[in-house]
Amino acid sequence: MNSDEIRSAFLEYFKEKGHKVIPSSSLIPKGDPTLLLTSAGMVQIKPYFLGEADPPNPCLASCQKCFRTSDIESVGDPTHNTFFEMLGNFSVGEYFKKEAIAWAWEFVTERMKISTDKLWITIYLDDDEAFKYWREIGIPESKIIRCGEEDNFWGPAGSSGPCGPCSEIHYDFGIEQGCGRPDCQPNCECGRFTELWNLVFPQYNQDESGQRTPLPRPNIDTGMGLERLTAVMAGKKSIYETDLFMPLLDKAGELAGRKYGAKSDDDTYLRVVAEHGRAIAFLIADGVLPDNEGRGYVLRRLLRRAALFGRRLGLDKPFLTEIAKVAIKKMHHVYPELNQRQEFIIKTVTLEETRFEETLNTGLEIIDGLVKKQVGKKDAQISGADAFKLYDTYGFPVELTKEIVAQKDFSVDMEGFEKDMTRQRERARSALLRCSDCGMRLKESDKICPNCGSTNKTRGPIVFDVELKDGIKLSDSVKTEFVGYDCLEQEAKIVKIIIDGKEVNEIKAGQSAGIILDTTPFYGEMGGQVGDTGEIIGKNGKFIVTDSTHIPPDITLHQGEIKEGSLAVGEAARAVVDIERRRDIARNHTATHLLQSALRQVLGDHIQQRGSLVAPEHLRFDFSHLAAMTPDEIKTVQRIVNGMVRQNLPVQDEETDYKKAVEAGAIAIFDEKYGDVVRVLKVGEPTVSAELCGGTHVAYTGEIGYFHILSESSIGAGIRRIEAVTGRGAEDFIDRRFSTFEGAAQLLEIAPEVMHDKLSSMLNELAAEKKRVLFLERELAKHEAASLLERAETVKGVKVLAVRISSDNQQVLRETADYLRDKLKSGIVVLGAVIGGRPMFIAAVTPDLVGKGYNAGDIIKQVSKMTGGGGGGKPNFAQAGGKDKNKLDEALRLVKNLV
């Protein structure tokens, strides 16, 4: 049986047993953005075991895509792999050990027809119940091995939770394949046995102290690697000798001119290329992109490790796309996302592999040099600083460096490497450009802060001093109730007044301060949304709020200045948010949700939010994507968003359990920390967008008015940025554009409708005039050049012509130098001219003088240096520019002395 037949037989068998077959979930776990990758079939079943969701059927079966990072460095031997398919059957309180054991045995012995002589069983030490059921189906006591917790007990995912013993079915390759000891049995690491199927019996709940109590409804969680079962069914000891991998190995061998099975080292390299090439295709298809952190770092490690081992096979040009194509062709009928995203997979692999290829040779040479330096020394170790340089400058994951040097019996100073990594992160944080007044993160191009309008900037994180003079933290003493989702004006009480980080009892006109209220409609800056502005009005004074800041966990600091009268702690006050500004912010915030939905429709599900700014004037949305968007893609995204705006879809929020929200499809930001209860913002019925979000939004999408994309750009490797406007901001933008357009039409004295045709005609006329001017300049230069020949001087037997000419065209300057050099037949020409207000120089040397050691590049460097510039070129021709045009003649006079 091949892998397809085995996969189908397994699922069909459990379908006959009353199980619902569910599709594989993504390699990016849905329901927990802090979990790196899906590593078992149980990941998508876990919410059912924990009672957080109702299963579609209490009995389930699946073939799940899985990835385990722990085996990356081991890939290359005949047994290890990172990506695999896990066949599993699950019971959510429906059946338990008796049925799970009986069905597993029936499937492997009757459906797969594996000889019972080849099968052994391991159970947990005191699991007498499992022992009884294995004996009942005819397993001899001598082939049931009792093992300890390390081998046959599955603990909880964290420090507490469901856990239980397990039973494993092991396949025996034969005594000749192992260590030969008479007591050899399953769990011996000699290679004679392979674990085929693990039946886990979660029957206890473990608390934080380690105490275990029986679960009211025990569950079943089983897992069997398709690759291992396929190898057993094919009579092979290695998973790589099955139909799952042979097409990949054949392709890798064809590209490298090697044959799998001919040479041990080549086989290792071919297995790495084949396995990683397959895993790469699946990771990218599920939305993982190369990065320096998280899942993206895992993908980058695989890509670069495969590229390195390909180099050892003699593959010195990018090749991984060919391996990925074979993986897609082999597996797309089971996992259609491979076919649907093939173009994106190939593009991603090509870009990443090409980028690494540019530095691979240099990095390998550096490692070789580092190792040679240490040969013979007592400490055979690569320093942390060198390992960090390889990572930071040449793109070598430190794990890859460790693997390369380990072959030469060297190690890497990981403690030193981690110190350098920490320093780099601190430098990155300190390099962030922020507004000195409100702390808003700024772009380098921002002239003023889009939040508060300040022109004051600083680098590094803004730390708000929220400690009182007696050392008590505000968060320990006060809280602010936020009511701003439902109202924009609220009666409140002044709880604290802060000036320069210290608590005061009263402020008066002209003083700047921070005010904390017991309740507020002001939204404090958080989650990319800027803080509200407005007024706090007491009976004796008015405070103008210029910014509101959220201080975790639940304080809102209102920053600003008191304009009249005074305010004191304990007084009642009315907090009033600037309504129009809040509405502008709400339009832009809801628009970011629509934008993310549209980007996923147009570019794919790999789109993940990587940052945002929601201000009243505009919005900024950063997202993961490898290539620049095309004009058509930008137009399509804009069209989709405006379509949702025109539909006037309802925008609703609800508080719910975090796990349930993400299980239901709400988008959560990877690595963002969320509480147990979250706010979900949904757009449309049926839902077109659902995200975890604490920001403020419109009630209906029609309130957005119009959405217009201003720009799409790169802000880093694999990160794109869209800036856009909505509502009043979009209206202002369109007004400005039309005013500019109509103003241009008035200057040209034409109707706006014919602007395009008129400009095209004018540009054609201008191009023709430029050609005519260039022709005339050339003719004039020829006449001028003829007279210049008479000014050539002889310096120690060498003709030298160093003069200023009147041309303001660099091309004419070069052509004149060529003409004069040819006319001199033997000599040196240096011409100077003022072009665009700056001095320019050309030097030309005839071939006979180049042969004698005269060098145009050396001459031009010295000449241009006189005017504060620089340049260079070849020995026969060079050019340079300067800064001070007033020194042009003085520089030309230098030529004779240089010659």
User: Which pLDDT value is given to residue 356?
Assistant: 87
Q: What are phi and psi of 564, to 5 degrees?
A: -150, 150
- Provide Rg for the chain, Cα atoms: 36
CA distances from 50 to 21, 114, 161, 585, 640 (A): 20, 35, 9, 39, 39
Q: Where are the beta strands (DSSP E) in 28-160?
A: 59-67, 83-91, 119-124, 144-147, 153-154
Helices marked H in 650-754: 658-663, 727-748
Q: Residue 133: is it exposed, middle or buried by C-beta count within 10 angstroms (0-12/13-18/19+)?
A: buried
Q: How many whole angstroms from its chain centre is CA 387?
A: 23
The span from the CA of 17 to the CA of 13, in Å, is 7
Cis peptide before 553 (omega within 30 of 0): yes
Length of the chain: 899
Q: How many whole angstroms from its chain centre is CA 101?
A: 44
The span from the CA of 664 to the CA of 679, in Å, is 13
The span from the CA of 451 to the CA of 431, in Å, is 20
CA distances from 849 to 844, 845, 852, 862, 875 (A): 10, 7, 5, 18, 10
Triad 522, 526, 530: Cα angle to 5°: 65
Crossing angle for the helix pair 320-331 and 342-374, to the nearest 10 degrees: 140
Whose tokens are 């897992």? That residue is 223
User: Which pLDDT value is given to residue 380?
Assistant: 83
pTM of the model: 0.65
Residues 6+ apart with CB under 8 A from 18: 59
The 3-class SS string of 294-315 reads HHHHHHHHHHHHHHHHHHHCCC
| DSSP code at position 158 | S
Cβ atoms of 74 and 189 closer than 8 Å: no
Residues 6+ apart with CB under 8 A from 149: 124, 125, 155
User: Which pLDDT value is given to residue 465?
Assistant: 41
Whose tokens are 């010295």? That residue is 862
pLDDT along the chain (899 residues), means of 10: 97 97 90 77 86 89 94 88 97 96 98 96 96 96 94 77 91 90 89 94 85 88 96 95 97 96 94 97 91 88 93 92 97 92 91 86 84 78 88 82 85 90 71 53 57 55 38 58 95 94 92 95 94 96 95 90 95 97 97 97 87 94 90 97 97 87 76 75 94 95 97 86 96 93 90 89 92 83 78 90 87 88 92 92 93 91 90 89 92 91
User: Which pLDDT value is given to residue 97?
Assistant: 96
Helices marked H in 375-438: 384-394, 398-406, 414-430
Residues 6+ apart with CB under 8 A from 585: 529, 530, 532, 614, 615, 616, 696
The span from the CA of 692 to the CA of 682, in Å, is 9
User: Which pLDDT value is given to residue 770?
Assistant: 86
Q: Residue 418: is it exposed, middle or buried by C-beta count within 10 angstroms (0-12/13-18/19+)?
A: middle
